[in-house]
């Protein structure tokens, strides 16, 4: 494995997959469980090309490269510092032949890559509208959590344009925006096919939802059994350990 020089306040985190590591800076933004769960929910098959919109430090393309047999994985990121960390993580893990990082704007993604360029699009988008709660004073974290640099409409519009016919869109989001999400999917010709709610505990309400939609797919959606995160405080369910690779 290559040696990569870390910049100020950066750290190396072990991804527990294929010996891969990722560069992160806690002063900016670190990936969360939602990104890992999305990588376990999504699938990229042989000869397929995947694009991750708003890739941050590249966690989803790197994990998908570890977990699936896809042909290529691209991460699009608007923040230069995050894109730089993601690109160096790709180099660190010697994944340059499968994973690429592009600095750019989600709102211009189809113009950047071309329509129908990908079989799979993934996205862990900002969950909050600008009027939802207090914005983090840290601009890096604010952009990741609030719809500052892109909106849900931007993500769905560009995702639909980027996909091949019957291509698949995978997203993780919050249940409180589910009606808006499903309406947006269908408005852009993306038919929801799978929903999986994520609950912290068996007796708690869902706090995340994983969604798969197919471009030009037939009507009909399957609601899968929920994913329970914790058996008890501090102890994951077995399925979570499997997703993380522990």
pLDDT number for residue 142:
47
Q: Along the chain (246 residues), what's the average pLDDT of each consecutive run of 10 residues? A: 85 92 91 94 97 96 96 96 96 97 96 98 79 52 55 95 98 94 97 98 96 96 97 94 85
Give all domains of the chain, ordered by start, each with its CATH number. Answer: 11-244 (3.40.50.150)
Task: Please state whether 30 falls in left (phi above 0), alpha (psi between -120 and 50) or beta.
Answer: beta
CA–CA dist 175, 210 (Å, integer): 9
pLDDT number for residue 15:
93
Closest CA to 91 of 68, 49, 118, 62: 62
pLDDT number for residue 134:
52
Three-class DSSP labels, the chain: CCCCCCCCCCEEEECCCCCCEEEECCCCCCCCHHHHHHHHHCCCCCCCEEEEECCCCCHHHHHHHHHCCCCEEEEEECCHHHHHHHHHHHHHCCCCCCEEEEECCHHHHHHHHCCCCEEEEEECCCCECCCCCCCCCCHHHHHHHECCCCCHHHHHHHHHHHEEEEEEEEEEECHHHHHHHHHHHHHCCEEEEEEEEEECCCCCCCCEEEEEEEECCCCCCEECCCEECEEECCEECHHHHHHHCC
Task: Please state whether 156 falls in left (phi above 0), alpha (psi between -120 and 50) or beta.
Answer: alpha
CA–CA dist 58, 208 (Å, integer): 21
pLDDT number for residue 133:
52
pLDDT number for residue 138:
55
pLDDT number for residue 233:
94
């Amino acid at each position: 494995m290559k040696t990569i020089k870390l910049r100020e306040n950066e750290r190396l985190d072990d991804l527990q997959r294929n010996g891969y590591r990722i560069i992160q800076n806690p002063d900016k933004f670190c990936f969360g469980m939602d990104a890992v769960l999305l990588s376990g929910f999504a699938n990229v098959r042989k000869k397929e090309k995947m694009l991750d919109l708003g890739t941050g430090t590249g966690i989803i393309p790197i994990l998908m490269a570890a977990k699936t047999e896809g042909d290529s994985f691209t991460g699009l990121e608007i923040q230069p510092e995050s894109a730089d960390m993601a690109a160096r993580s790709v180099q660190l893990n010697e994944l340059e032949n499968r994973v690429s990082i592009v600095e750019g704007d989600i709102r211009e993604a189809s113009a950047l890559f071309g329509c129908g360029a990908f079989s799979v699009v993934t996205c862990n988008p900002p969950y909050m509208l600008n009027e939802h709660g207090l914005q983090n004073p840290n601009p890096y974290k604010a952009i990741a959590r609030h719809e500052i640099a892109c909106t849900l409409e931007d993500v769905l519009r560009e995702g639909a344009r980027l996909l091949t016919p019957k291509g698949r869109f995978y997203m993780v989001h919050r249940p409180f925006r589910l009606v808006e999400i499903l309406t947006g999917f269908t408005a852009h010709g993306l038919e929801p096919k799978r929903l999986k709610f994520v609950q912290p505990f068996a007796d708690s309400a869902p706090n995340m939802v994983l969604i798969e939609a197919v471009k030009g797919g037939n009507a009909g959606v399957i609601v899968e059994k929920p994913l329970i995160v914790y058996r008890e405080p501090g102890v994951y369910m077995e399925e979570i350990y499997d997703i993380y690779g522990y």
